[in-house]
Amino acid sequence: MANKLIQKNLINNAISAYYAAIELHNKPNFGYRYEIVSILLINAWELILKAFVRKYIKSKQIYRKNKSTEKKETLPLKSVVGYCKEYLNGIDPNNFFKATSHNILKVEEYRDNAIHFYNESAEPVLFALIAKNAYDFPRFVKEYFNKDIFLQENVHILPVGFKLPFNPTDYFKTNYTNPSKSQEVRDFVNGLISVIGELKTEGIEESIVIGFNVALERTKHVKNSDFIAEIAPHGAVTTAVPISTVKQFRFSGEKGAQPMFVSTEEFYAYYKLTYHDLLHQCKERYSGFIADKAFNGRMSEMKTNPKYAGTLGKNPKSRSKISPQYGYSEECFEHLDQFYSKESSTTP
């Protein structure tokens, strides 16, 4: 009974701290915004994670004995985050808390060193970090405590803001690279970039920030990012971060893919190949290629995947009278390369 009561109080107080953080963040004129919001959000996470340990990790305690005072005290946040991360990784290697845990610790770092920061210097980065933190909290509560805190408490709020209050490209070009910014701010931002790189190395796509994505890729292999920041070699002296905006996109039918609107010109710029274009390139690309029944079957399969094919009815580049007329992307060759060889025909 006592365990249940402690767990219930931890959850209720965590949610109260979260509400307070959101309410203060969304005040129109609040000068000490991120310092106070970070304190309340970290308080919310520390309480909810301790409730998680009490509910799920029976082999761990949230208390320890202080060696100097001999009094019992609760564990620091970093230890509790470690317990939760280890447990969740054991039951689901792809759990979203892998990235969230890094976000929590970065917000805690800012909270602990808030006196060294200036809002006008780091506010865009803090917004992206804290917005993700605020987004993940109700997600965590709903996933592991089956409690929709917005629905059950009958409140209707957006966690943190409505949209990015800054342009990420402009910020990283003119603000972050400004040598007048404090070393603490630069170290904090570089720490975020380092964590993002580590997560990417581990194959974790979940981000620790919200609002924009940074591509840590060679520029020849850039995927879907809002902008590209060139990483200079270690030891190199630079005065600015070269940045270019990415206009590339790829159609996808995957659940959760970001919706977007494109013009007819953009549509056919992606689906640039007609059937005859594709057939001609196949004959040049593959030795001994024949457009047989197997090939036609693969074409039919690709028509069902927006990565490979799409239609707006009549293709302005096509002379065919068949309707609908499909356009094909160059991604088709990645698929067809599995079945045909440039050296010899390998049609199964």
Mean pLDDT value across residues 247-270? 66
Is residue 24 over pLDDT 60? yes
134 and 12 co-located in one domain: yes
Structure tokens at 170: 């402009």
Distances (CA, A) of 133 to 65, 193, 231, 247: 30, 16, 26, 28
Q: Which of 141, 174, 209 is the last residue of a domain?
A: 209
153 and 82 co-located in one domain: yes
pLDDT at 146: 92
Confidence band, pLDDT 50/70/90 cuts, at residue 18: very high
pLDDT at 237: 44
Handedness of CA 123, 126, 132, 134 (dihedral sign): negative
pTM for this model (two decimals):
0.55
Domain annotation covers residue 243: no
Domain annotation covers residue 259: no
Is residue 265 over pLDDT 50? yes
Domain annotation covers residue 328: yes
Confidence band, pLDDT 50/70/90 cuts, at residue 322: confident
204 and 272 co-located in one domain: no
- Which of 12-16, 84-88, 92-96, 157-161 shows the lowest per-residue confidence on average (mean pLDDT)? 157-161
Length of the chain: 348
286 and 202 co-located in one domain: no
pLDDT at 131: 86
pLDDT at 44: 96
pLDDT at 210: 66
Domain annotation covers residue 241: no
pLDDT at 190: 76
pLDDT, one tens digit per residue, over 111-141 is 887 755 554 456 677 788 888 898 899 999 9
Torsion angle (degrees, nearest 10) of CA 332, 337, 338, 340 = 120
Domain annotation covers residue 246: no
25 and 167 co-located in one domain: yes
More confident residue, 190 or 255: 190
Range of the structural domain that residue 28 is part of: 2-209
152 and 32 co-located in one domain: yes
Work out how many domains the chain is built from and give that number: 2
Distances (CA, A) of 52 to 45, 111, 214: 10, 23, 32
301 and 181 co-located in one domain: no
Distance between CA 117 and CA 190 in Å, rounded?
A: 14
Domain annotation covers residue 229: no
60 and 144 co-located in one domain: yes
Is residue 209 over pLDDT 80? no
Are 175 and 243 spatial neighbours (Cβ–Cβ below 8 Å)?
Answer: no
58 and 163 co-located in one domain: yes
Confidence band, pLDDT 50/70/90 cuts, at residue 232: very low
More confident residue, 304 or 345: 304
pLDDT at 178: 54
